[in-house]
Amino acid sequence: MARIEDFGALVETLRRIDGKGYRAYKDLSGRVFANQHLDLHIDHVQGDPFAAPSRLRAFVPHAVADFEPELYATEVRRVALADLVARRFARAARRRTGRAGSGKSGRIEIDEPDQEVLARSCCGFDDEGITLRFSVGLPAAGRRVLGRAAITLLTEELLEVIRDATFAPEDDRQAHRITQAVETQRHLRGQLRARRLVAFVADGARLPRRSGVDPRPMTGDVVPFESPPSLRVELETPAGEVVTGMGIPEGVTLIVGGGYHGKSTLLQALELGIYDHIPNDGREGCVSDPTCVKIRAEDGRRVEGVDISGFIDDLPGGRDTHSFRTEDASGSTSQAAAVVEALEAGSHCLLIDEDTAATNFMIRDRRMQRLIAKDREPITPYVDRVRQLFDEQGVSSVLVVGGSGDYFDVADTVIAMDAYRPTDVTAEARAIASDPTGRASDARGPLPATTPRAPRGDSIDASKGKREVKIGTRGVTTLEFGEHRIDLSAVGQLVCRSQLQTIGRALWRLGQAADGRSLSALLDEIEAALHRQGFAHLDPAGRTDLAAVRRFEIAAALNRLRSVQVDPSAS
């Protein structure tokens, strides 16, 4: 454990190395400096002003921060309050700091949250106090230490940023709002299974976003959500208050309507209803089954050892679909694999938008059946399996459908969106379905149970060159894992690049633990370890940019890793 020094030692060191080569900053590495308010840990010092900034950590005791103890009395509240502190830190850093020399000099940055509230490595609460992890660009002129600028940065500007983020005002209404909002969302989501619902959208919710790249709520003339009377349910908040809204039942639900009337907007809100949202986001009243997985076609992806025979069989040339492998999947084979992979990871609800689905995987109408006989068509479309998924395996589906009325035959609930207003048209859809089209199901027998797969540890290699572990990200779409780039652009429920960092390290741990057990068992183990140890299980060095992610996204990344190989599972 490092010896704790006072801030005078920090000032003395920076004066001593002023004007020296940049590597002189390494004299700070591993040291801890303290004053009456906090401890400042210098965990990692960058070797060059143009390299990734230095990693620092601050610990502020509860007695100094002075948040009301009830605000961090439970794990849920701690996550919510840490989210708020990280946001305050980011805002304060933008106000007070800027470039102060060459390269990344003068920057103070933290992993700033967006609309979703996630557990993050950048800020955490425990029984003793608050820990903040952030990065600082140590000042330089060229590659020479700017010691005096560093004194100002670390002993004045940084301390002001930390103070603004962690010292609670006497009446901290923001803190109460965010902890109550997150606690309420968790409570609402927790009632879904008992009420046999897969999702709930509160009356008054504002679902549209500003743009495809701006996740903030749309402003201006936005139609507030209002549940159809037949689907309106009441859920309770932790305070015992009643929230009304539309409950989407388990089973097969269709979202229909004309173009630009809000079908996909509703489905997108359901996709992200797995996360808690900040107050005034507009979607904080929209919660979904935490196992919901968005499914889409993904031409060109790799598939490794997946049993897609329930959807695709009897391929030309006798290719095996009970353990299907390809380096270049088609739309239909990729979507079939995505369904089976989601079930393997434990999903109880699948979300599909026909706009991003393979048409021939979704439906084969009567006329096509007449032209192409079943013995010449290897695909059993989703419309002929969706009912079995629920009746035989308890897996619900919510589908946006605008072009195929054949789904009326298998639907439990049909919701029509008209100018962003939902209507229950189940009765009308059933009346239409009572007029037969002559279409016969292509399904042959029951839907096969999911076959467990065991990933081989030696095929999950995070090393690159001399580095044992090389993990990086490019936005929210690409994970760099060892020698490979994993394309996650089709994994629609990822919301920040820090989740990709977490996924990369989870894959690394999974590769170390792989020993013939099933992927599901390995995911269980990672979840349990994260629950016990937090992010330290994935990165003992204490990265500043890890964020909570589900087992489904970890599995999705593994399934898209082009080196991975699987064997039949032993457990």
The one-letter amino acid code at 155 reads: T
Contacts 24+ apart (CB under 8 A), 234-238: 235/188, 235/191, 235/195, 235/200, 236/187, 236/191, 237/184, 237/187, 237/188, 238/183, 238/184, 238/187
Nearest Cα residue to 413 out of 252, 246, 209, 205: 252
pLDDT of 499-529, one tens digit each? Answer: 999 999 999 999 999 999 999 999 999 999 9
pLDDT of 196-216, one tens digit each? Answer: 999 999 999 999 999 989 999
Q: Please give the full DSSP string across 284-342, using - where no structure is assigned.
A: TTEEE-TTEEEE---TT--EEEE--TTTB-S-GGG--STTEEESS--HHHHHHHHHHHH
Instruction: Write the CA distances from 521 to 198, 454, 513, 531, 555, integer angstroms.
Output: 25, 9, 10, 15, 12
pLDDT at 99 over 70: no
Q: What pLDDT shows up at residue 316?
A: 84
Q: Token pair for residue 487?
A: 């394309």
Nearest Cα residue to 267 out of 243, 245, 251, 283: 283
Q: Average pLDDT of 62-90? A: 97
Q: Average pLDDT of 321-350? A: 97
Q: Average pLDDT of 258-273? A: 96
pLDDT of 539-568, one tens digit each? Answer: 988 899 999 999 999 999 999 999 999 998
Report the run of H or E that residue 247 belongs to, with start and end. Answer: strand 242-249
Q: What pLDDT shows up at residue 570?
A: 62
pLDDT at 335 over 70: yes
Tokens 């004299």 found at? 27
* pLDDT level of residue 403 (50, 70, 90 thresholds): confident
pLDDT of 297-306, one tens digit each? Answer: 999 999 999 9
Q: Average pLDDT of 219-240? A: 96
Buried-exposed string 231-269: b where 16+ CB fall within 10 A, e elsewhere: bebebeeeeeeebbbbbbbbbbbbbbbeeebbbbbbbbb
Q: What pLDDT shows up at residue 317?
A: 80
The SS3 call for residue 394 is coil
pLDDT at 272 over 80: yes
Q: Chain-wide mean pLDDT for the chain?
A: 95
Q: What pLDDT shows up at residue 97?
A: 60
Q: What pLDDT shows up at residue 2?
A: 77
* pLDDT level of residue 1 (50, 70, 90 thresholds): low
How large a percentage of the chain has pLDDT more than 90?
A: 89
**Three-state SS annotation for 343-377:** HHHCCCEEEEEHHHCCHHHHCCCHHHHHHCCHHHC
pLDDT at 571 over 70: no
pLDDT at 83 over 90: yes
Q: Average pLDDT of 224-236? A: 98
Nearest Cα residue to 490 out of 293, 327, 270: 293
Sign of CA dihedral 414, 418, 421, 427: negative
User: Are residues 22 and 47 in contact, defined by beta-carbon separation less than 8 angstroms?
Assistant: yes
